[in-house]
Amino acid sequence: MRDWIISETRDTGNNIPPDFDAAGKIAELQAAIETVIRGKSETVKFALIALLAKGHLLIEDVPGIGKTTLANALARALELSFQRIQFTSDLLPSDMIGLSIFNQKSGDFEWKAGPIFSNIVLADEINRATPKTQSALLEAMAEEQVTVEGVTRRLPLPFIVVATQNPSEHHGTYPLPESQLDRFMLRLHIGYPTLDDERNILRDRETSDPMNSVEPVMSQTEVLEMQRLVADVRFDDALLDYLLQIVDLTRKSESVELGISPRGTLALFRSAQAMAFIEGRDYCIADDVKRLVVPCFAHRLIVSSRTNALRGRTREAEQVLQDILQQVSVPI
């Protein structure tokens, strides 16, 4: 097992000390976020997985649970640029990406970058924007760039979109198409806190907002280095076969109309590497894959109408995936 302390012989890039303690930094980052998001350690861990695996995050839950708070806490704990975009029905692609404005003094068009040119972009209530505006995110999420008026502009790295949506109220919303959902590495549900955790939430906010005390604990250079380290995590052939069997069954199951795409397969592969890295291992195990199958795959599946009718529309994809996991032998 590796302790994830970079050796002195490694070329670590700009301003990374030779004894950089990645595991310690991750623990510090998670602790900082959990001062605001109480009792949701697993959810916070999954958010960090998306960040370190170079993925995007969709947080789906009822109002008031802490979706936006989680995104804000993540941004505050990282020394990265952050922009919040409130998605509404009148939001235009240019409001998000930017546009060229004519300068009368110079006689030229000047590019004015939009809020998407940030390291962390909070797409709040993403399903309230029109499909045209939603689709403006596709190139940015897939290729870390945007193309406007024939000119391609690179986005700052690291780049992560954290989107939120409310699944229980659909008035005035535009459901995300499959092509958009497939760009999100993980979909998370925060859920209600326990009574003890909710008591702590109230006590924390008696005199001040704990969000104001969250200080940056990780720099841009450190995040980029950790993303590079995640790609070095070992994934054995037997475990790879296990992952591919799960994917294959989603494509063959009678309960599923549309199985997992190769992009989804890669998302599970990368997120499992990030899970192992966060837990201090330089190798993946079967439990990394099993824990991530539902948050990584459930939003990508299209379940058959027959299965919807039998099980209802709330947890049908999750249940199908659990059934598939029962059919695949775990490698020893």
Q: Is residue 206 part of a domain?
A: yes
Residue 41's identity, in one-letter code, is S
pLDDT of residue 170: 67
190 and 332 co-located in one domain: no
Q: Is residue 259 part of a domain?
A: yes
* 63 prior amide bond cis, ω within 30: no
3-class secondary-structure state, position 271:
helix
Report the percent of the chain where pLDDT is more than 90. Answer: 59
224 and 239 co-located in one domain: no
pLDDT category at 149 given cuts 50, 70, 90 is: confident
Q: Is residue 29 part of a domain?
A: yes
How many beta carbons lie within 10 A of that of residue 313, not counting itself?
Answer: 11
**299 compared with 309, residue with greater pLDDT:** 299
pLDDT surpasses 80 at 1: no
pLDDT of residue 167: 77
188 and 315 co-located in one domain: no
240 and 316 co-located in one domain: yes
295 and 269 co-located in one domain: yes
How much is the mean pLDDT over the chain?
Answer: 87
Average pLDDT over residues 161-166: 92
Q: Which of 176, 208, 230 is the last residue of a domain?
A: 230
Handedness of CA 146, 43, 220, 121 (dihedral sign): positive
79 and 207 co-located in one domain: yes
pLDDT surpasses 70 at 234: yes
71 and 159 co-located in one domain: yes
CATH code for the domain of 79: 3.40.50.300
CB 73 within 8 A of CB 37: yes
What are the φ and ψ backbone dihedral angles of 2, each rounded to 5 degrees?
-100, 140
60 and 175 co-located in one domain: yes
pLDDT surpasses 70 at 93: yes
Number of domains in the chain: 2
pLDDT of residue 312: 46
pLDDT category at 12 given cuts 50, 70, 90 is: very low
Q: Is residue 97 part of a domain?
A: no
pLDDT surpasses 80 at 311: no
pLDDT of residue 3: 43
> How far from 116 is each of 173, 185, 201, 273, 322, CA to CA, in Å?
21, 18, 32, 27, 36
Average pLDDT over residues 266-273: 97
Average pLDDT over residues 139-144: 93
pLDDT category at 65 given cuts 50, 70, 90 is: confident
Average pLDDT over residues 80-100: 92
pLDDT of residue 141: 94
237 and 220 co-located in one domain: no
Average pLDDT over residues 46-73: 91
Q: Is residue 110 part of a domain?
A: no
Q: Is residue 121 part of a domain?
A: yes
pLDDT, tens only, 174-209: 888 888 999 999 999 998 999 999 999 899 888 888
38 and 143 co-located in one domain: yes
**176 compared with 288, residue with greater pLDDT:** 288
pLDDT of residue 10: 37
Q: Is residue 101 part of a domain?
A: no
What are the φ and ψ backbone dihedral angles of 176, each rounded to 5 degrees?
-70, 130
Q: Is residue 279 part of a domain?
A: yes
pLDDT category at 265 given cuts 50, 70, 90 is: very high
Domain that holds residue 259: 233-332
pLDDT of residue 186: 96
